[in-house]
Amino acid sequence: MQPLSGEKCTKKCYDPKTGWWVHVCSTDRLTLYAAHPSRGRKALDAIGIAPAFRGISVHDGLKSYQSYGFTQAWCNVHHLRELTYVEEELKQEWGHKMKELLLSMKDEVERANVSGKQEVDLLVLACLLRHYDEILAEGYRANPPPPPPKKSEQGKRKPGRAKQSPARNLLDRLSQGKWMVLRFLHDFAVPFDNNQAERDLRMIKVQQKVSGSFRTEEGIAMFCRIRSYLSTLRKQGIALFPALDHVFSGTPVLPAFS
């Protein structure tokens, strides 16, 4: 089974003031678009793929994906963007080091693939993982935990935990989700990122820029269904215009579902 990419984009639907979300689940052979007013778990449950999927899903790491039965892998392009912010805006060297390390890991996987290997050499892998932990430790030293919440006038601490900096939040993500971040390093079938889903969303964004919004729920549902069909046909090398002729004549071309 091919790893599944998942991503979302905003799309206004039938009420110009109401922001809906267009979700996409895709592989290199299949595409499914679906629109829903929710960005999170309510939408994923309604679409129906996440609750039933048991393969590997590459996504942006939102909490909405947690506790489903599939194996998770996090998109590292998202991490590179955040690390660039840490490096360039916060002037923290560990951000640059982690960026370089993730890209080095990607290169090692590509070299092993070209050589026909099924895994990265164990000594190289151990060195990369040790370096990963060392950079995290450096990052935590540069970003100590925030002080506890201040006490109120009555002498009681405010409920909840103290707000962390973006850099420390990223460190926690890279540390606590280490194996989801690095799944591509251990399983060559898993891509480094979820660019498949990002590419599949581009046409949705183009349509949004051209027409602005849909005016009915039925309209966006029909659009997602048609785009899902056409995108899947294109990925499988099926000519679109002859396929549409078959659709209108009542004998639609059915793509392979694997």
- Final residue belonging to a domain, choices 186, 207, 224: 186
What CATH number is attached to the domain comprising 228?
A: 3.30.420
State the average pLDDT for the chain. 88
Residue 13 lies in a domain: yes
Judged by DSSP in three states, 146 sits in coil
**Same domain for 181 and 85:** yes
Q: Is residue 217 part of a domain?
A: yes
Decide: 174 and 98 in contact? Cβ < 8 Å: yes
Specify if 257 maps to a domain: no
pLDDT at 1: 37
Q: Is 163 part of a structural domain of the chain?
A: yes
Express each pLDDT in 182-234 by its tens digit: 999 999 999 999 999 888 988 877 777 777 677 788 888 998 999 999 999 99
Confidence band, pLDDT 50/70/90 cuts, at residue 177 = very high
Return left, alpha or beta for 143; rule: phi > 0 is left, psi -120 to 50 is alpha, else beta.
Answer: beta
Residue 96, exposed/middle/buried by CB under 10 A (0-12, 13-18, 19+)?
A: middle
State the CB neighbour count (10 A cutoff) for residue 12: 16
11, pLDDT greater than 50 = no
C-beta separation of 21 from 11 below 8 A: yes
Residues 89 and 180 both lie in one domain: yes
E-only strand ranges, 4-122: 4-12, 19-26, 31-36, 56-59, 71-74
What would the mean pLDDT of 31-37 be, rounded to a whole number? 91
Q: What is the mean predicted confidence (pLDDT) over 123-148?
A: 95
Contact (CB, 8 A) for 11 and 220: yes
Higher-confidence position of 148 and 104: 104
Q: Where are any strands of DSSP class E within 27-174?
A: 31-36, 56-59, 71-74
Look at residue 254 and tell me if it is in a domain: no
How confident is residue 29, by pLDDT bands cut at 50, 70 and 90?
Answer: very high
Q: What domain count does the chain have?
A: 2
CA angle 149, 154, 160 (to 5 degrees): 30
Looking at the structure, do residues 212 and 240 belong to the same domain, yes or no? yes
In a domain, 50, yes or no: yes
Domain boundary among 186, 207, 226: 186
Residues 89 and 172 grouped into a single domain: yes
Contact assessment for residue 216 and residue 206, using Cβ atoms and an 8 Å cutoff: no
Residue carrying structure tokens 């370096």: 131
Which residue range(s) make up the domain with 32? 4-74+194-248
